[in-house]
């Protein structure tokens, strides 16, 4: 029996494979109920606070709409407009919000901040992205992979790009936990930190997962079932980073050649948002400055039949609902 009541959800390293699989199962049930218009207001009357020190579309909307689906109300606290970080500490904010709310979501900078929030909070705290980890994203990603291939064990998942960011790190962790064959395909200077790699390799020994790090795109992506990428510069990093990242990561772009080197049934995933054209403010600025029209993925792959990015985005809602339900239910 898996019982997650009262638990925080800060990083997948804190969760057992059994607990992660349980959340995926609950998410699948909630998805079916939602698609069949079956009411599931299991958390009626509860309230949650959403603390965002960085921007968000998917995570915020998944928590807000998911809260309503479950019968709850959500209060959004954005990057400006609250006392947090200016006049009030994380510890005090945690204790204040715990007196008014049943759960707290936090998106921001260092992982230590969300860990501190959880330490002082008396209600569950959920990590909606930090510089180091993005655990709710992982549940949606593996749910999407499972829907596609009917299993996770032995699936070859390749991440190309900035592999020591929140998404790269978390993919390696979730793969280790769930027996996925994970390849990090990136320049050495952007490999995940040694300590985390070692930790994941230890976990992999128990679960049958494989963890490979390579700089070689052709070798790395050969026979992949899932090709995954993320932005080359993450939120919170300075704009000046673009120049060096473009130099380092251009050859790790996901394009037709990469997809053709993968398994014929391979799918493409991306946590989003994505720079696959110049129709965004930043995308256009990068184009004007560096002359590139597509970055981590070409528009052709993004819009192709292999792309599951919008299925993946939808699954953010079902999986986040599963986390809220399992940690808040009576």
Catalogue the active-site residues.
107, 134, 137, 230, 271, 316
73 binds, among ligand NVA, ligand CP, none (CB under 5 to 8 A by kind): none
Note whether 231 binds ligand NVA by CB under 6 A.
yes
Please report, as residue ranges, which positions from 121 to 160 form the binding site for ligand NVA (by CB under 6 A): 129
Our finding on whether 167 is near ligand NVA (CB under 6 A) is yes
Contacting residue, 70, 160, 271, 322, with ligand CP by CB under 6 A: 271
| Minimal distance, residue 142 CB to ligand NVA, in Å | 16
Q: How far apart are CA 48 and CA 320, in angstroms?
A: 13
Structure tokens at 251: 């050859």
Dihedral (C-alpha) 200, 275, 63, 159: value to the nearest 10 degrees? -20
CA distances from 44 to 10, 51, 70 (A): 24, 21, 6
For position 319 contacting ligand CP by CB under 6 A, the verdict is no
- Cα gap 293→276, rounded to integer Å: 7
Q: Rounded to the nearest 5°, which phi and psi values hold at 135? A: -65, -35
Burial of 304 (0-12, 13-18, 19+ CB in 10 A): middle
Residues numbered 92-131 forming contacts with ligand CP, rule: CB under 6 A: 129
Give the one residue of 234, 253, 261, 274 binding ligand NVA; rule: CB under 6 A: 234
- Residue whose CB is less far from ligand CP, 7 or 107: 107
Would you count residue 272 as binding ligand CP (CB under 6 A)?
A: yes
Interaction residues for ligand NVA, span 269-288 (CB under 6 A)? 271
Site for ligand CP in 169-198 (CB under 6 A): none
Q: How far is the CB of 247 from ligand NVA (least distance, A)?
A: 19
Question: Which residue's CB is nearer to ligand CP, number 214 or number 277?
Answer: 277
Q: Tell me which of 166, 170, 229, 319 binds ligand NVA, using CB under 6 A.
A: 166
226 with 311: CB under 8 angstroms?
no
| 130 or 261: CB nearest ligand CP | 130
**Which of 117, 123, 122, 128 is CA-nearest to residue 92?**
117
Question: H-type helices in 211-278, by residue range?
Answer: 217-221, 241-249, 256-261
In degrees and rounded to multiples of 5, residue 240 shows phi and psi of: -60, -20
73: number of Cβ within 10 Å? 12
Indicate which of ligand CP, ligand NVA, none lies near residue 57 (CB less than 5 to 8 Å, by partner kind). ligand CP
User: Both ends of the chain: CA-CA distance in Å?
Assistant: 15
Task: Return residues touching ligand CP (CB under 6 A).
Answer: 56-59, 129, 137, 271-273
């Amino acid at each position: 029996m898996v019982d997650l009541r009262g638990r925080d959800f800060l990083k997948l390293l804190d969760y057992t494979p059994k607990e992660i699989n349980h959340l995926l199962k609950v998410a699948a049930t909630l998805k079916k109920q939602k698609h069949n218009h079956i009411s599931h207001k299991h958390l009626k009357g509860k309230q949650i606070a959403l603390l965002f020190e960085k921007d968000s579309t998917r995570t915020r909307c998944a928590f807000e709409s998911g809260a309503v689906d479950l019968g709850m109300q959500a209060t959004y606290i954005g990057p400006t407009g609250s006392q947090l970080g200016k006049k009030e500490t994380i510890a005090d904010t945690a204790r204040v919000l715990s007196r008014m709310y049943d759960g707290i979501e936090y998106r921001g900078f260092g992982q230590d901040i969300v860990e501190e929030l959880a330490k002082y909070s008396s209600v569950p705290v959920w990590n909606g992205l930090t510089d180091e980890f993005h655990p709710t994203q992982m549940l949606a990603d593996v749910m999407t992979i499972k829907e596609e291939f009917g299993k996770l064990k032995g699936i070859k998942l390749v991440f190309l790009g900035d592999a020591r960011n929140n998404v790269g790190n978390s993919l390696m962790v979730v793969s280790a936990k769930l027996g996925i064959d994970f390849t990090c395909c990136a320049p050495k200077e952007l490999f995940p930190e040694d300590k985390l790699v070692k930790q994941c390799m230890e976990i992999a020994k128990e679960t049958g997962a494989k963890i490979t790090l390579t700089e070689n795109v052709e070798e790395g992506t050969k026979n992949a079932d899932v090709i995954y990428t993320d932005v080359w510069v993450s939120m919170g990093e300075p704009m000046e980073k673009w120049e060096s990242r473009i130099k380092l990561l251009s050859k790790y772009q996901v394009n037709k050649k990469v997809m053709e080197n993968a398994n014929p049934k391979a799918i493409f995933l991306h946590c989003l948002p994505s720079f696959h054209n110049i129709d965004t403010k930043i995308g256009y600025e990068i184009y004007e400055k560096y002359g590139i029209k597509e970055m981590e993925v070409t528009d052709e792959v993004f819009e192709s039949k292999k792309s599951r990015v919008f299925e993946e985005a939808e699954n953010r809602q079902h999986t986040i609902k599963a986390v809220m339900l399992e940690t808040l239910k009576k």
